[in-house]
A and B are shown apart, each in its own frame.
Chain A
Amino acid sequence: MLEISSTPLVIIAILGTVGILLPIISIARKEKGSNSFYAIIAFAALIVSIGYVAYQFVNGNILPSALFSEDVLVDDAFGGFFAIAMLIVAIFTTVGSFNYMRKKNYPAVYYSLILLSTIGMVLVAYSTDLVMLFVAWELMSIPTYVLAGFMKKNPSSNEAALKYFLFGALSSAIIVYGISLSYGLTGSTNIGEVIQGYATLDPSLLPLALLSVGMFIAGFGFKMGLVPFHQWLPDTYEGAPPTITTLLAAGTKKAGFAATIRIVVLGMVVLNLDWTLALGVIAVMTMTIGNIAAIMQKNLARMLAYSSIAHAGYILIGLAISPYSSLGLQGSLYHILNHAVMKGMAFIAVTGIITTLAVTHIDKLKGLGRRMPITALGLIISLFALAGVPPLAGFWSKLVLFGGALDAGTTIWWAPWLAIAGVLNSALSLAYYGWITRKMYFEGENEKRVSEPKSIIAIMIFSIVFLVGFGIYPDPIIKFVEFATPTFSLGVMP
């Protein structure tokens, strides 16, 4: 049994209580607006939660990546790592909303839904049982369907929500189908026991096990934005409120990876077949298509949406090579954390630009470096970090990922090609990042400065310090990632 002070339970308690109370308070207060009041409460709840995770880590109460457990949840470093990444994103979203939600309706509901969705994300990472995982998955997803359509008078917000919901429903159905297959095959929903069951499976049932694994990849791949399950993503990211896009791109996407690592990567090691090539092919497809589509985009949010598809491809490299090199999963986790900050920061910058200047078209970003210097600087740094320019933090995680792929090349022939594809794609991505840089800094000489929202500035400064600081001195993060990365103990190599 989990102790009452274990991290996931405490987060449920804090965020759940606040999330449920917020709408009740708003009914009791009988006043609309007063966005910042609810934002501060939500922000405080998130800070307390992240503080608790950090406290648990510092006090050593967290198991070093125990992957399986009798229980439905496990308080391990792997989950804690994802919890920190997701809570950072939730904080970005909340702080970014200070400004965005001003003078908009139903702020209490809005923040409440963010908190509830955050609980779901965190629980996905902590789950060790398929049913628990599915419940957490839905808890994460359903509030975001509502949030994506939160601007209910705005047609594109509606379109975003509807598409997102349709695919969400489909993928949930596929996941449930995968769960039912694996339950039928092994008689259990506990991930550890399912994997044990797969290890001793009768060979004639192997195709069914494969089908279940394929279902998991497709179902989670929807959230991760893997090609070919990605098509809803640009439409939704573009139409949804930009703060919610932050939550989707930087947060829920990572939950997909957490679930995939827990089930697919660790589970499939025991299935004696070469599944890694499938992930490798998807990784290359995902990054290439994401980057190529991004090049011609004129809408900043949509460009970033495609860029986040591409980054899912980079992260997937680590998953594909995980049985061959210990650097694989480390690189993935490292890049997940960095991507959460980089992409979160980029979308928050977009939020700032939309609320202040009401533009998203790239040609209209002329002279942004003069108009909104801090936001522009933050955007540029996040873009360069996404491209992996040293010495920013994104460089190191890509280095570990691609280095891992080269390392894996000693056992499997195609792994170095993933690194080559990754490097070429990073170069390609500089084309459109460079385009934005040029618009912001080398055009529009005569623009005047406008006042930037303080909350956006705060996020920009935090993220710049994070990306530059951990770019110059990456050691603490690398140590943290090493601590949180699960190691293969089952030992069956394909």
Chain B
Amino acid sequence: MATEAFGLPFEVGASSAWLIWILPFIAALIMPGVGKISKRSTGYVAVGFALMSALSAASLLPMALEAHEVHDQISWISSIGLKAGVLADPLSIIMANVVAWISFLIMIYSTGYMKGDKSITRFWFWMMFFIGSMQLIVLSDNLLQVFFGWEGVGLASYALISFWYRDKKKDHVGTEGRTVLGLLDYYSPTHAGMKAFIMTKVGDVMMIAGMLLIFLFAGTFGFRELMHDTAWATSMSAQGLLIPAFVLLFGGAIGKSAQFPLNEWLLEAMTGPTAVSALIHAATMVKAGVFLVMRLAPLVFALSAAGILADQFFEIILLVGAATALLLGLQGMVNSEIKKVLAYSTGSQIGYMMMVLGIAGLSEQFVNGFTAGFFHLISHAMFKASLFMAAGSLLHVVGSRFMTDMGGLRKHMKKTYAFMWAAGLGLMGAPFITTGFWSKDSIFGAVYTSGHEWAMPIFAIAVLTAIITAFYTTRMLGLVFYGSKSKHIQKMEEEGHHIHEAPLSMWVPYGILAVLTIAIGIIGLSFEVGLHELFTEYLEESFGIHSIHHEIENSILPGFLDGINPVALAASLAAFGIGTGLGYVFYIGRWVDPVKFVNSNIFFYAIHKVILNRFYLNAIIYWCFVVAPLWLSRGVFRYFEKTAIDYGMNSGLQKAVGWSAKVVQGTQTGVAQSYLFVFGAGLLFVVLILLI
């Protein structure tokens, strides 16, 4: 039905949907070969394939805007009824475009950022693998295939976070020598990669459990098949397993999207090259969890129309999201490493998305929260990718990850300065001109109008987080670009290093995204309305979720703000004003010294310390799941393995096998006569068994 609308044969839509995720994998596969021939051309090949993948994604856009979908399946393992397929509906097509185009820009950026790295082929291999896996998640039509992409993303992130596996000092994160609860707060790339892998794996295990639980009842992994016949949900619900299964699936999203309490890997993930961080935070990995929830949420919500209530599922999402938004936002205020501030900010913003998806399921108007979450995902992808790449430029130029080693850079790096401000305004939610403002405002609106009993406390947390966000963004910009030059920079200049702008291939990508943040921001409201209409139609057609059309009340707001909730608007404006104002006082105007301010009384000092030590969550996790098991394992090794296993089983079993092998070999005499005898005896034996 889909492509007929604009006169293309059906296969075109389907094949470009396949190509979107297959092309990056092809690029990854040929990368070692390309690297053998010419190391320098690997970057061009990667950028080329990323572009082709992005173009395939773009070719599907017209269809998405018509709210049509393509669902193409091939038989995968027919004997157990498994099918592989792509599901290109408006949700996945727009998501695929966000992923593809932002990855494409990051790829261009990487050609500059990674120039001259010895292991460049490995870098491109994993980057393309990363993108391919993410697109596999986005376009899959069933949970099993999503899980393949899910694990691919996990593997690629592991390989890329520990990309600089030689663990040089400059590639670490954290402050050397600093301890929290007796544990070092200083991580090497290899440690960080492992940490990310293991922590997200906790979520993955939950996810596969939830997946199989659903499969047990439904007999299918397919999203559309699950929607088509909901008898499975009725029987699961009758046994009280429906909510646990979906919560387990959400567990996967918690791990991958770094939500509380599995958020701690995200900070150490900063050991990877900055291009990787940009990819993880803007396009792949952490967005995968949000996307999974967006795939599942309409399904769960639609079940409630069939009388199967799943409110607890949405409540859990809501609480996890809100907690993450606030806790990680707070930590972003105090950290001194630029990439870590951005990482905390990502976790916090993802928390926003989760929160509003949770509220969507609890309100009458599902589409409001759903649109708000997705809109924020898009705008966050743009400005966060831009900010990360810009931060990469700073690291590249200054050679330090600490903001305290920067300062006063606005005269030397004018372009980066301007673009970071533009993208930063997006993150702060600068009124009326940035995408961040409109998406945040729509989140506020969705929460405020949801009518749920928790709406007001959640709204308060959302506004508080917005204030915090504006504050730490201003702080970051202030520390980096304003004030006087740090000692580190002065020393560099004395040594003859010239502070200069980043090369063209680096500033153009983040420039484009920064400009887009403003450009789409200016038409942000109509963008949002369009998205809202599209999703209303999509949810209606694919899930049968009806939206109630409210007549727009006579608002006190001027005409161009039609449809905006005045309370939400006021809250956004106030949050931006307060947060930015405080930030200005401390870090741009520098009227008050923040260090003195914090140390001025014991109360501020204590709070600062608790936040700086990550609410002790990381240390507690390490004590419980790393240090304690290590002690335990040493004990088991000494008192059980060395005795029972080694002396008993290992040598015993080995001897038994060795002995039986000797016996069998003993029959193999090499003498033909004895073989013939055995043969004859065997014939007799067979006839005897047959006669019995």
Chain A residues near B678: list those with CB within 8 A: 228, 231
Chain A residues near B690: list those with CB within 8 A: 210, 213-214, 273, 275, 278
B97 to A: closest C-beta gap in Å? 28
Give A110 to B647 CA distance when docked, in angstroms.
54
- A293 and B664 in contact, given A170-B676, A229-B679 (Cβ under 8 angstroms): yes
Contact B670 A235 (CB under 8 A): yes
Give A207 to B688 CA distance when docked, in angstroms.
11
Q: Flag the segment in B74-82, B200-208, B393-401, B569-577 that touches A.
A: B74-82
Contact A231 B79 (CB under 8 A): no
Is A444 in the interface zone, CB < 8 Å from B?
A: no
Partner of A166, one of B76, B77, B668, B676: B676
Is A292 in the interface zone, CB < 8 Å from B?
A: yes
Is B624 in the interface zone, CB < 8 Å from A?
A: no
Residue of B nearest to A481 (CB): B79
Contact B658 A296 (CB under 8 A): yes
Chain B residues near A231: list those with CB within 8 A: 667-668, 675, 678-679
Q: Flag the segment in A40-48, A254-262, A471-479 that touches B.
A: A471-479
- A167 and B679 in contact, given A293-B668, A475-B75 (Cβ under 8 angstroms): yes
Contact A228 B682 (CB under 8 A): yes
A373 to B: closest C-beta gap in Å? 13
Chain B residues within 8 Å of chain A by Cβ, number: 29
Chain A residues near B548: list those with CB within 8 A: none
Chain B residues near A400: list those with CB within 8 A: 79
Is A383 in the interface zone, CB < 8 Å from B?
A: no
Contact A170 B679 (CB under 8 A): yes
- A228 and B672 in contact, given A214-B687, A278-B686, A293-B665 (Cβ under 8 angstroms): no
Q: Which of B677-692 contact A (CB under 8 A)?
A: 678-679, 681-683, 685-687, 689-691
Q: Flag the segment in A25-33, A215-223, A341-349, A363-371 that touches B.
A: A215-223
Give A268 to B435 CA distance when docked, in angstroms.
77
Residue of A nearest to B685 (CB): A228
Give A475 to B79 CA distance when docked, in angstroms.
8
B427 to A: closest C-beta gap in Å? 42
Give A211 to B687 CA distance when docked, in angstroms.
6
Contact B675 A232 (CB under 8 A): yes
Give A163 to B674 CA distance when docked, in angstroms.
12
- Among B657, B660, B687, the most chain A Cβ lie within 10 Å of the Cβ of B687
Contact B657 A295 (CB under 8 A): yes
Is B662 in the interface zone, CB < 8 Å from A?
A: yes
Residue of B nearest to A163 (CB): B672
Contact A474 B679 (CB under 8 A): no
Is B1 in the interface zone, CB < 8 Å from A?
A: no
Residue of B nearest to A209 (CB): B690
Give A210 to B687 CA distance when docked, in angstroms.
7
Partner of B76, one of A221, A281, A473: A473
Q: Mark B107-124, 1 if CB is under 8 A from A, else 0.
A: 000000000000000000
Chain B residues near A229: list those with CB within 8 A: 679, 682
Give A449 to B406 CA distance when docked, in angstroms.
50
Is A225 in the interface zone, CB < 8 Å from B?
A: no
Is B602 in the interface zone, CB < 8 Å from A?
A: no
Is A323 in the interface zone, CB < 8 Å from B?
A: no
Give A229 to B675 CA distance when docked, in angstroms.
8
Partner of A228, one of B76, B78, B681: B681
Chain B residues near A277: list those with CB within 8 A: 689
Residue of B nearest to A472 (CB): B76
Chain A residues near B79: list those with CB within 8 A: 400, 478
Give A275 to B688 CA distance when docked, in angstroms.
11
Chain A residues near B504: list those with CB within 8 A: none
Give A210 to B658 CA distance when docked, in angstroms.
38
Q: Mark A262-282, 1 if CB is under 8 A from B, else 0.
A: 000000000001010110011
Partner of B661, one of A167, A227, A295, A475: A295
Contact A234 B668 (CB under 8 A): yes
Chain B residues near A162: list those with CB within 8 A: 672
Q: Which of B598-614 contact A (CB under 8 A)?
A: none
Q: Mark B24-65, 1 if CB is under 8 A from A, else 0.
A: 000000000000000000000000000000000000000000
Chain A residues near B685: list those with CB within 8 A: 228
Chain A residues near B661: list those with CB within 8 A: 292-293, 295-296
Give A174 to B687 CA distance when docked, in angstroms.
13
B79 to A: closest C-beta gap in Å? 5
Give A167 to B682 CA distance when docked, in angstroms.
13
B363 to A: closest C-beta gap in Å? 43
A309 to B: closest C-beta gap in Å? 11
Chain B residues near A475: list those with CB within 8 A: 75-78
Chain B residues near A296: list those with CB within 8 A: 658, 661-662, 665
B422 to A: closest C-beta gap in Å? 45
Chain A residues near B660: list those with CB within 8 A: 292
Partner of A478, one of B77, B686, B689: B77
A236 to B: closest C-beta gap in Å? 11
Is A289 in the interface zone, CB < 8 Å from B?
A: yes
Residue of A nearest to B664 (CB): A293
Chain B residues near A293: list those with CB within 8 A: 661, 664-665, 668
Contact B686 A217 (CB under 8 A): yes
Give A207 to B678 CA distance when docked, in angstroms.
23
Contact A210 B691 (CB under 8 A): yes
B26 to A: closest C-beta gap in Å? 14
Contact A479 B78 (CB under 8 A): yes
- Among B78, B676, B679, B691, the most chain A Cβ lie within 10 Å of the Cβ of B679
Partner of A289, one of B75, B664, B670, B687: B664
A219 to B: closest C-beta gap in Å? 9
Partner of A282, one of B662, B667, B686, B691: B686
B687 to A: closest C-beta gap in Å? 4
Q: Which of A153-206 contact B (CB under 8 A)?
A: 162-163, 166-167, 170, 174
Chain B residues near A479: list those with CB within 8 A: 78
Chain A residues near B676: list those with CB within 8 A: 166-167, 170
- Among A222, A295, A474, the most chain B Cβ lie within 10 Å of the Cβ of A295
Q: Mark A399-432, 1 if CB is under 8 A from B, else 0.
A: 0100000000000000000000000000010010
Chain B residues near A210: list those with CB within 8 A: 687, 690-691
Q: Report 15 cross-chain contacts, Cβ distance below 8 Å, ordered by A residue.
A: A211-B687, A214-B687, A218-B682, A221-B682, A228-B679, A231-B675, A234-B668, A235-B668, A277-B689, A292-B664, A293-B664, A295-B657, A428-B657, A475-B78, A478-B77
> Given A170-B679, A222-B679, A475-B75, 12 more contacts at CB 8 Å?
A166-B676, A207-B691, A217-B686, A228-B681, A278-B689, A292-B657, A292-B661, A293-B668, A296-B661, A428-B657, A431-B657, A478-B78
Q: Could you tell me which A residues sit within 8 Å of B by CB distance?
A: 162-163, 166-167, 170, 174, 207, 210-211, 213-215, 217-218, 221-222, 227-229, 231-232, 234-235, 273, 275, 277-278, 281-282, 289, 292-293, 295-296, 396, 400, 428, 431, 473-475, 478-479
Q: A-B pairs with the 6 shortest C-beta distances?
A: A228-B682, A214-B687, A278-B689, A296-B661, A231-B675, A218-B683
